[in-house]
Structure 1
């Protein structure tokens, strides 16, 4: 596809091979498909079966899935992000972008235990995703950054999996027309939730020399400011 014929919506292009995981009502997939005018470059997956999705989201989800398939999207159900690199329909495919919006392990435990479960979900997702994206590709996690979500420490988890933060950008729902986030689990699974302070984190296998140089310069500047502060105290 030539550069002039590419279509973009924020970070995503019709020339990217995109894997969307943990889709709830598939409205994010539908948003990308609408922006591109096609979804032949998109694989959209959910952990739930189609029957479960119908129970959660009603007839609207059936219409959305039909429209995605008509636009050429590959829709897959029963895909666990923690084991997806072994999935027979995914394990031989590489993607330019792998996207997980608002990962969440559920509400069934105390906050402290849930935090560890959320971290484990993110860790195992990243461990699997890094087997499925191209050398210069990106893994995107859109995530709340206020407390208690900040305690998930997803950047540190990624580094433990040999992945590095290329960029953190503010997430705005308005950038994705038609996207409606859903809780996805529990008795209120069909309800939306307030996004609040939220970012999209872009993880890569290696940082470019330019990015590494900028990071080192910022670290040196911070160290100098810290040293100056200490000397004045």
Structure 2
């Protein structure tokens, strides 16, 4: 079994969908960390022709990604992506939308512009919630200062039966090679000031409830005490853990993975989960 490679909260054994990529530098960061990109589907709203006009490094980034196995899709609308002929046949462990934005049509505190941003996110959450594997995660990176906090991400996600699982401050230096882009107008290739921002992680309500139940019941055959967690998911129906091995670095992550393990047992039955 090939050992899975991890970077931050992403694993080479996961199926990862990137939505709204600019110059595809975040996808390239993941591919570089993994050493391949066969697990990555990276999409842009722009056509390939428009992409080349907007971003100086887009062509080279896309070519590298294709060479290491990534699936690249253009003209994918985040609010209708589950209808795409390719995407509708796939489920993902991670769906990532970095700094969603409809474009620069006025001041950011304009209520009409905020409403447009919210409509984008409502459509994205509705689609993404139906494209997740069991215990999969939706990651949205977003500014947390005013007026961006007025978008109310958590409320928007809840309308698609999603729960905020956790959030953490986003530091771009933790993602080497990723370049945030304005993506609109004559300065589309320029970065925008990040300021205070976070990664918001959402999961489906049913997964959250089962993890919550697992935290207070259903003891495993043996408790998990070490730093290594292993799954052999060959007989685990619908599980995202197939072929995965991971060194878990923190007590928080150990707890999360333990809860997922318990919840998998609760959902699929003890006999379907190997290695417990």
TM-score (norm 2): 0.74
Quote the residue 1:100 is aligned against.
Answer: 97
Cα offset, 1:187, TM superposition = 1.6
Match of 1:27 among 19, 22, 25: 25
Quote the residue 1:55 is aligned against.
Answer: 53
Paired residue secondary structure (1:187):
helix
For structure 2, which runs of at least 5 residues remain unmatched after alignment?
Answer: 216-276
Cα offset, 1:160, TM superposition = 1.7
Cα offset, 1:212, TM superposition = 7.5
Structure-to-structure mapping, 1:46-85, within 5 angstroms = 46-58=44-56, 60-85=57-82
Match of 1:16 among 14, 17, 37: 14
Cα offset, 1:211, TM superposition = 4.6
Q: Does 1:160 align with 2:159?
A: yes
Structure-to-structure mapping, 1:112-191, within 5 angstroms = 112-191=111-190
Cα offset, 1:6, TM superposition = 1.2
Q: Whole-Å Cα distance in 2 between the matches of residues 139 and 169 of structure 1?
A: 14
Asked if the contact 1:48–1:77 (Cα under 8 Å) also holds between the matched residues in 2, the reply is yes
Asked if the contact 1:44–1:74 (Cα under 8 Å) also holds between the matched residues in 2, the reply is yes
RMSD (Å) for aligned C-alpha atoms: 1.6
Q: Whole-Å Cα distance in 2 between the matches of residues 35 and 140 of structure 1?
A: 18
Q: Whole-Å Cα distance in 2 between the matches of residues 148 and 190 of structure 1?
A: 23
Q: Whole-Å Cα distance in 2 between the matches of residues 69 and 152 of structure 1?
A: 35
Q: Whole-Å Cα distance in 2 between the matches of residues 118 and 90 of structure 1?
A: 23
Q: For residues 193-218 of structure 1, what are the alpha-carbon distances to aligned partners after superposition, in whole Å with 9 as ceiling and x for unaligned? A: 1111111111011214565899xxxx
Query: Matched residue pairs, number?
Result: 211
Q: Whole-Å Cα distance in 2 between the matches of residues 210 and 57 of structure 1?
A: 42
Quote the residue 1:204 is aligned against.
Answer: 203
Q: Whole-Å Cα distance in 1 between the matches of residues 214 and 172 of structure 2?
A: 32
Q: Whole-Å Cα distance in 1 between the matches of residues 60 and 140 of structure 2?
A: 27
Cα offset, 1:161, TM superposition = 1.5
Asked if the contact 1:166–1:211 (Cα under 8 Å) also holds between the matched residues in 2, the reply is no
Asked if the contact 1:44–1:76 (Cα under 8 Å) also holds between the matched residues in 2, the reply is yes
Quote the residue 1:227 is aligned against.
Answer: none
Q: Whole-Å Cα distance in 1 between the matches of residues 213 and 202 of structure 2?
A: 14
Q: For residues 131-167 of structure 1, what are the alpha-carbon distances to aligned partners after superposition, in whole Å with 9 as ceiling and x for unaligned? A: 1111210111000000010000000111122100011
Q: Whole-Å Cα distance in 2 between the matches of residues 203 and 132 of structure 1?
A: 13
